[in-house]
Structure 1
Amino acid sequence: MSAKIEYRCFVGGLAWATTDQILHEAFSQYGEIIDSKIIKDRETGRSRGFGFVTLDNEKAMRDAIEGMIGTDLDGRNITVT
């Protein structure tokens, strides 16, 4: 049994108002999104300004990183790795 490879990219520099849904929609142009998650502070429930997007294949992940790095999302230039 082999472990399933996950094609996950880190998204940083997010606006506090950015939601999982906004992240999902922004990256969906590159391929099928398996998961999109904004990391929230445990105490306050507020966004910590970063999240992760998991795509279904390596090409989609590479295209998303290349296409989204430095783009404007909710008024902030995001970093994607």
Structure 2
Amino acid sequence: MSANNSFMVFSGTKSKYLAEKICSSLGCPLGKLVITHFADGEFSVSYEESIRGRDVFLVQSTFPNSDNLMELLLMIDAAKRASAKS
């Protein structure tokens, strides 16, 4: 597969190694995503490249604490707002 696919793979903070292995297997680069953690415990997610009209695959562990799940939910919300196809 080439890097010009209609899909993109992104990783949360807890699953970068797995996402890199998936991308290596698929022959595509890992997407650029910034997750900012604030001093008050809040965090935000932003995609550093256009995902409009693309299929987006998110790799993130939901174990062991709720921060991982919340990070995944914010990744999904940010992808939806950035007009990802699916």
Which band: TM-score by shorter chain?
Answer: 0.3 to 0.5
Structure holding more strand per residue = 1
Q: Which has the higher helix share?
A: 2
The structure with higher relative contact order (CA 8 Å, sep 6+) is 1
TM-score by length of 1: 0.33
